[in-house]
Amino acid sequence: MGDLNRKEHWDNIYQTKELDKVSWHQPSPETSLELFSDLKVPLTAKIIDVGGGDSFLVDHLLDLGYTDVTVLDISANALEGAKKRLGDRAKSVKWIVADASNFKLTEQYDLWHDRAAFHFLTDENDITNYINIAQQNINPSGILAIGTFLKMGQLNAAE
C-alpha cells in the first residue's frame, strides 16, 4: 500500500468508525502501562508513541505525570480525536501527522513506543526506513518497544 493509500485508509477508518468499535481499542492500555512501570521510565523521559493515533495511552501518561510526550500517527483524524478527548491537556502533547515509514524528526527520544504501526509495514523499504528512523532518533541509552500482532490474527480477550 503506497503512502497516500495508507494515509487515506487510516483517515477513513478514524472518520467513519467509532473509537470503541475498532478491534485495537483499549480503554486502558495495560500492557504498555506495565512496560512503563516495569522499566521505571522517569516522568521527565522524552517519549514518542508511534502510531498512537486516538489511543488512550497518552491520557494515561499525562495522568501519571509524564511531561514530554509526542504522539505520531499517519491519520490527522485519529490525532484530532485524541486532542478533542484531551481538551486543554492536548496542548501539553506534541502531535505529528506522518507516515511511520517516512518522516523526519528533530528530537531524540528516551522511549520509542509503537504498539502496532510497525506491524502494518509490509514493504521491505518501508521497514528499513522505519528501522533507520528509529535508530537515528532514539537516545543511545533509550528504549525501543514495538508490539505486533500474531501472524494468524488477533487473540481474543479470553485467550
Q: What is the largest CA-CA distance in the chain?
A: 41
Distance CA 55, CA 59 (A): 8
Q: Which three cell numbers stand for residue 53?
A: 493515533
Which residues touch 74 (CB under 8 Å, ≥6 apart)? 6, 7, 10, 11, 51, 97, 98, 99, 100, 117
pLDDT at 100: 86
Strand partners, 99: 102
Instruction: Please report, for residues 50, 53, 70, 111, the alpha-carbon distance to residue 114 in angstroms, rounded to integers and kept in the order given.
Output: 5, 11, 12, 10
Segments of the chain with pLDDT less than 70: 1-4, 6-28, 149-159
Residue type, 77: N
Give CA 77 to chain center in angstroms. Answer: 14
Confirm if 116 and 24 have CB atoms less than 8 A apart. yes
The arrangement of secondary structure in 3-16+29-146, i.e. its CATH architecture, is 3-Layer(aba) Sandwich (3.40)
